[in-house]
Amino acid sequence: EHIIFQNCPDPVKERVEQEWSKITSKLERLLQKYPRDQRHLRLVVRHKNGMFDARAVLMLPTGTLVAHTHQPTNNIREALDVVEERLRREIHKHKEKVRREHLYRRKRRHRESLESAIPLLEEEARAGEQESFFAILRPLIRHLRTHVHYELTLAQLDGRIKPGECTVSDILDEVIARAYDRFLKRPQHLSLERWLVEILHEVIDERSSGEISTVSVYEPLPENDPRFEVENGWIVDNEPFWGNPEPITLEDTLPGSDIPESWQNLMAEEQRRWLLNQLRQFPLEKRRAFTLHFLEGWDVAEIALLQDRSAEEVQEDVQTIAEELTRRLQTEQTISG
C-alpha cells in the first residue's frame, strides 16, 4: 500500500496511516485470489482550506479500480469511510464481472468444440455407427459432468434419488444414447449444448420420478450424510484427464456479495455442502436457473428459452436466490458469532 499526502498536517498523516491500515486489513479478504505481488493499492489524501478529499486506486491484473469522496469534507475519518465503502463496492462489481467473463469464455470454448463436431456426429449417425458417435461426443461433454453432479446431489438431498442409485456416468451415458437416437431429427435452431442440457434434465427427471422418500428440506444434515456424495462411474478410468469436478465456493457462487470472513475460512468442501443444503430448499426450476446462471455462465435469456419462461421471471428468480443466500450467510454469521 502507498499513501500520498498533499498539504496535510503531520497529526492528520499519522491518523490516516493508522485508519488506512485497519481499512486495508478488512479489504484484504476480498482480494485473497490475487497474489500480493500482483496488486497495488494507492491512497491520495488532499487537504485544502480545511477540507479533505481522498482517492484510492487499486491496480489488479484484471483491471484498475478507483474510489473517491466526490465531495470534500472537514472530517478525515468520514472521507476515509466513504472511500472504503466505494472501493468495497467496486471490488465486488469487478469480481462479479471477472467471474462472468471467465464463465463466458469457458462456455464459448465448450460450445465451439461441440459445434465443430456436428458434421462428424451427423456422418456417424447417418451411417449407424453408434460406437464411433459415442467416441466423438463423450470427450466433448466434460462440462456437463459438473452440472450432472449438482443435479444428482440435489436429487439425493431431495429424496428423489437414493444415494448410489445411479452415477454421473450413468446419466451421461443415457444422454449420449438419446442424442444418438435423435441426432438427425434434432431442432436445427438450437445449439448442440442447449439441446444436450435439455436431454440431461429429461434423464435426471425421469430417474427421479419414482417413489420419493419423505425428506424435509429444512432438516439439519450431518456432515457425513451420504446424500452429499455422488459416484463418478467410468469417468475416473475412461476420462482421467477430466480431473475432479470444479469446487463450488461461496466466492464463485456469490461474487458480488460480501462474504463474512468466518465463511471464507471454511474448507471448499464445507462451503459446497452448505450451498447445496441451501439450494435444495428452493423449487427445482428456480435452482436450476440459478446454477446455470451463476455456476455455469448461462445468460438469463438462454435459460428462459430452455425453461420456456420469460427472461424477466428468470432474472427475478436467480437474483432472489442470490439475495436470500447472502442474507442467510449474514444471519448465520450473526447467530454463530
If you write DSSP's letter for every residue of 285-334 in order, what string do you get?
A: HHHHHHIIIIIT---HHHHHHHHTS-HHHHHHHHHHHHHHHHHHHHHHHH
pLDDT band of 337, cuts 50, 70, 90: very low
pLDDT digits (tens, 9 = 90+) for 192-205: 999 999 999 999 99
Instruction: Give the gyration radius of the chain's Cα atoms.
Output: 25
The answer to which of 1-15, 207-221, 224-238, 301-315 has the lowest mean pLDDT is 207-221
Distances, alpha carbon 159 to alpha carbons 168, 226, 335, in Å: 17, 12, 29
Please tell me what DSSP assigns to residue 73. B
pLDDT band of 334, cuts 50, 70, 90: very low
Reported as half-sphere exposure (CB side, CA atoms, 13 A), residue 85 has a value of: 8
What does the mean pLDDT of the chain come to?
A: 88
Q: Among all chains, which residue has been given the C-alpha cell 430417474?
A: 207
Strands 40-48 and 51-60: antiparallel
Contact 204, 155 (CB under 8 A): yes
Q: What is the pLDDT of residue 259?
A: 77
CA distance 119 to 128: 14
Sheet holding 2-6, edge to edge: 2-6, 40-48, 51-60, 63-68
Q: What is the pLDDT of residue 99?
A: 87
| CA of residue 321 relative to chain centroid, distance | 13
pLDDT digits (tens, 9 = 90+) for 16-73: 999 999 999 888 888 888 999 999 999 999 999 999 999 999 999 999 999 999 899 9
Q: What is the pLDDT of residue 336?
A: 44
CATH annotation of 2-97: 3.30.160.100
Helix (H, G, I), strand (E, B) or coil at 118: helix
CATH class of the domain whose range is 247-337: mainly alpha
Q: Where in the chain is the domain with CATH 3.30.160.100?
A: 2-97
Q: Where in the chain is the domain with CATH 1.10.10.10?
A: 247-337
Q: What is the pLDDT of residue 240?
A: 66
The answer to which of 151-160, 173-182, 241-250, 277-286 has the lowest mean pLDDT is 241-250
Q: What is the pLDDT of residue 222?
A: 62
pLDDT exceeds cutoff 70 at 236: no
Q: What contacts 216, CB < 8 A, 6 or more positions away?
A: none
Q: What is the pLDDT of residue 258?
A: 75
pLDDT exceeds cutoff 60 at 216: no
CA distance 30 to 39: 12
pLDDT digits (tens, 9 = 90+) for 104-119: 898 899 999 999 999 9
CA distance 254 to 326: 8
